[in-house]
Structure 1
């Protein structure tokens, strides 16, 4: 399987595959445009994941969100950020 095929499969599995959360929420998290109560959390995961703390997770749980939901949105935000950075790097590198 080619790397581009693997990336497409990853994107499809994370953003469009079955899950507890709606695909539209995962796609929004991947793009960085998630609605409340996810907005700040998704921004933190995408921009400074090393700063995400147990308190951030506890706040989401206090809002009534479950661990599976938090996991799926976290993965979607992280994969979205990674793919955006990869795309930017490939544009800078130019055609191979």
Structure 2
């Protein structure tokens, strides 16, 4: 058995059975107490959603997106930017 964590608050789901809720579409695991705080964004790429929310001047974590999702999307955006910059440098100054 593997420990299961809530994808909204990040804390452990306790118990052997019926620990919480799981989305049928995206398989996200959450506490019953977190259900009302979770944004319904199944089928939406989190990175694209967070980027769109930031472009509107809003904070993604205030809208129900977990801190882990925001951090992962930010890291992916930084990696993509770094790769783009590295590719541009290699095209301008071939090694």
Structure holding more helix per residue: 1
TM-score, scaled to structure 2? 0.44
Structure with higher RCO (Cα < 8 A, 6+ apart): 1
Structure with max Cα Rg: 2
In the superposition, the TM-score normalised over structure 1's length comes to 0.43
